[in-house]
Amino acid sequence: MRLIRHIRGNYRKYILALIDVMFFCVINSVFFALLSVSGFSAIAGDVAVCVRDSAILLACMIASRVAFSVYRTVWRYTSSRAYFNLVVSDLIGALAAIALTLILGSRHAPWQMVVVSTLTAQASSVARLTYRQWYKKKNDPHIERARKNTAIVGAGQLGIYLANDLRTNANSRFNPMFFIDLDQEKIGKTVAGLNVYSGDEARFYVEKYSITDVVIAISDPNSERISYLYHFYRDLGCSVKIFDSLVHEHGNEGKVSGGIRDFSIEDLLFRKPLKINDQSVLDYYSGKTVMVTGGGGSIGSELCRQIARCCPRKLIVLDNYENNAYEIQQELLRTYGDDLNLEVQIASVQDVEHLECIFRTHQPEIVFHAAAHKHVPLMENSGYEAVKNNVLGTYYTANMAEKYGAQKFILISTDKAVNPTNVMGATKRVCEMIIQSRRDSDTSFAAVRFGNVLGSNGSVIPLFKKQIAAGGPVTITDKRIIRYFMTIQEASQLVIQAGAMAKRGELFALDMGKPVKIYDLAVNMIKLSGLEPEVDIPIVEIGLRPGEKLYEELLIRTEELDKTENDMIFIERDAALSREEVEDKISYLKKASEDWDDGNAPDARKILRAVVPTFCDPCELNENAEEAEEMQVAM
């Protein structure tokens, strides 16, 4: 019964082997018959020797095919490598047969066996290729008609892989027609069976071949190049997509894989996200107990994901909002299961007694402090809540980390702490003062400052998406506003690396790249939705909000910053206050918060202005920015 089940499960292999034997028998018989008639074979009349040598050749070829797993290949979905494998196996089988027949004293010429094996390999390959094409037609007889004429930008390794995959994949919606490339050695030639044209010829050939889709398949593209290509081919009326690739270097012989997707706003306006795979950084967090406050938020949850990759002894997620904490908990459990020692604590960083209980119980070695109120307009109206959560919460958490012997405490700060014009930025500047004043501590304190994070809770991109989905209008405060952006993944990875570098009270600043106009962001997001700005979706200016700057301070002035081993991370030269000076400021803010609870406190902005000397009036800064812009235009 077991034999019968085995035969049923592998009947296709046996049928294929039987067909191959038939090919061999027919080719071998015809070949030796022709040799006999023409008189080229000296032993053609010796039937016994011919049969014996032919049997040896057949047995060696079949054995070689089995050894090379030829009969384990699913030929409906195979690649050119499988056909190459078949030819090589037959050649090796023929060489083995020649050696055996020579040992037996055969008078056959070796070339005769090579010819028979080569013809048999060709016949087998043609049969398999024919079956493959028949199978594709059978399963989707209208596939050629349903496919979209497509041009591929990039005739390199990625483009070639993509073209081959699109032509052989029965489920592909795209029919590659030609390549577009900048390489003069390729232009005018044929690559992977497709003509290669230059970018200057693109407009003509897009129209000639009725191209509906353009797929960009370029290795390591920069944002400027990608943005230019997107807008160029979109203006030609094409649907523009990008090929996301992954090269498997280990265990897969450099094989390329990937998928075609629509463009995102990150592709058009921002640099390629940085990938940090520094093993020394990963090893630093391995085997340690790590706590992330605000671990359910945008930055906090991504920090948790990145730290989980480092195999910590324990990961503690602390958050005041149970829904966010639950979501990251379930995600990490799905991903790592029992391999990750995960602890989730629902607590406020303002609750000193609860904080002490958590620190005493879990003894975290590394603390990433991401818990904070971050929404600028809301904090303008709730200033003392920002003081209590951002400033006092950071103060209490830092005290606990120091008291219970944490190795490092890393504060997540913001570019809005640079010459702050709003309550949120001012409170984060005080948090930085707390960190910088503790250079004498056994705990290594440091702060990491960066700009806006793409897609984070409360950021502009999710807002624009909702407004576009609702049919508009898209609202911006001012067309002149520029901001620095970074992806959540990139920011979190750089924070983790800066954390590994931290020694004594450093204020790390991350290279945020080039600034982006919020108006351009709105325009491109509307276009990505297949709509026209100011036609389908209006863009409306609503005026600057309280505490809002036209231009954020440029974070990276390399002449004012110290370099680190990572060229994306700098250390700001900033004179630190003493512990006593910072303690006086904290006492002042505590007293103001207590008075506020009693309903007697003055305006939070006035209190913070007394604590933060660099607190500026946004109107004055914006006027200066306008004057600077006008002078630049005049020049």
Q: Which residue carries 């910053």 as its tokens? A: 561
C-alpha distance from residue 562 to each of 236, 571, 619 (Å) = 47, 5, 32
Per the residue annotation, which of 241, 288, 416, 428 is the catalytic one?
A: 416
**HSE on the CB side for 159, CA within 13 Å?**
29
- Return the structure tokens found at 449: 């400052």
- 585 catalytic? Reply is no
Spacing of C-alpha 148 from chain mean position: 27
H-helix or E-strand containing 292?
Answer: strand 289-293
d(CA 474, CA 525): 10
What are the beta bridge partners of residue 570?
Answer: 509, 563
- CA–CA separation, 450 vs 323, rounded Å? 26
Largest CA distance in the chain: 119
Residue 18's H or E segment, with its range, is helix 11-38
- Please give the full DSSP string across 129-185, using - where no structure is assigned: HHHHHHHHHHH-TTHHHHSEEEEEE--SHHHHHHHHHHHH-TT--EEEEEEE-S-TT
- For residue 472, CA distances in Å to 266, 466, 516, 574, 601 come to 21, 9, 22, 44, 41
How many CB atoms within 10 Å of residue 89? 22
The b/e string for 368-381 (b: 16+ C-beta within 10 A; e otherwise) is bbbbbbbebbebbe
3 state DSSP class of 478 = coil
Tokens of 73: 């290949």
Spatial separation of the C-alpha atoms in residues 128 and 362, rounded to whole Å: 63
- The DSSP annotation for 539-576 comes to EEE--PPTT--SBPPPS--GGGEEE-SSTTEEEE--PP
Give me the residues paired with residue 282 across strands: none
Closest CA to 303 of 292, 316, 287: 292
Report how far apart the first and last C-alpha atoms of the chain are (Å, whole number). 91
CA 364 to chain centre: 30
Residue with tokens 């020049």: 635
Segments in 140-252 forming alpha helices (H)? 143-146, 157-168, 202-208, 223-235
Q: What is the Cα 193 distance to its own chain's centre?
A: 31
Separation of alpha carbons 128 and 86, rounded Å: 11
The structure tokens listed for 30 are 């015809």
CA-angle at 214, arms to 210 and 218, nearest 5°: 145
Give the whole-angstrom CA distance, residue 560 versus residue 546.
30
Q: Which residues pair with 319 in a beta bridge?
A: 346
Assess contact for 212 and 151: CB atoms under 8 A: no
Task: State residue 412 phi and psi, 5-degree precision.
Answer: -90, 110
| Residue 62 and residue 96 in contact, taking contact as beta carbons nearer than 8 Å | no
CA distances from 383 to 544, 621, 626 (A): 19, 21, 28
CA–CA gap between residue 402 and residue 400 (Å, rounded): 5
- Residues annotated catalytic, as ranges: 416
